[in-house]
Amino acid sequence: MNTIRTQLTLFIEVSQEHIETVRATYNPEQYKLISAHITLCREDELKPFDEIIERLKSMYLKQPLRITLGAPERFANGTGVFLPATGPNIEFKTLRETILGTKQINEHYPHVTLMHPRNSTCTDPVFSEIKKHKFPTELYFHKISVIEQVQDGPWQVLDDYYIADRVVI
């Protein structure tokens, strides 16, 4: 039986070179599965799916979603590394509420995973090297991608929904 996962994702399209360099170097398996991103909604939240898609189709923001990032942090007992979003992330939470059609949502903290503990292990020397990189402190998103993974294969983009005009930096 095929396991199929579907998520809503914010792919990083600008200022991702240091992020992707670290991912390719220290987590090549995850790098091959999916490009650098912030997960917006996980598969268990996307019900009823048709209603969520209708909300995505009619959504338009006055400006792109802005997420401010902090310095790299370790997680999962130090085996993983991510760039956490800083601040209250009200716009991110509001976007999730709008898409899911309810204010009763699971708390989800935006972040960019650099090393996923499922298929990499961070060590103290590796973390020291990662901290030397100059990562972006702000990311802007103008589209939401519906993505799908079959079994443990690479994630594929099924569709993109443009929610704002692109920011040129």
Q: What is the CATH number of the domain that holds 73?
A: 3.90.1140.10
Over residues 108-136, the mean pLDDT reads 96
- The pLDDT score that the predictor gives to residue 142 is 95
Q: pTM (2 decimals)? A: 0.93
**In which region does residue 161 sit, left (phi positive, over 0), alpha (psi from -120 to 50) or beta (all else)?**
beta
Q: Is the pLDDT of residue 169 over 60?
A: no
The crossing angle, in degrees rounded to 10, of helices 90-100 and 49-58 is 120
Containing structural domain, residue 44: 4-149+158-162
Residues near 71 by beta carbon (within 8 Å), at least 6 away in sequence? 83, 131, 135
Q: What is the pLDDT of residues 33-64, one digit of tens each?
A: 999 999 999 999 999 999 999 999 999 999 99
Q: Is the pLDDT of residue 168 over 70?
A: no
Let me know if residue 168 belongs to a domain. no
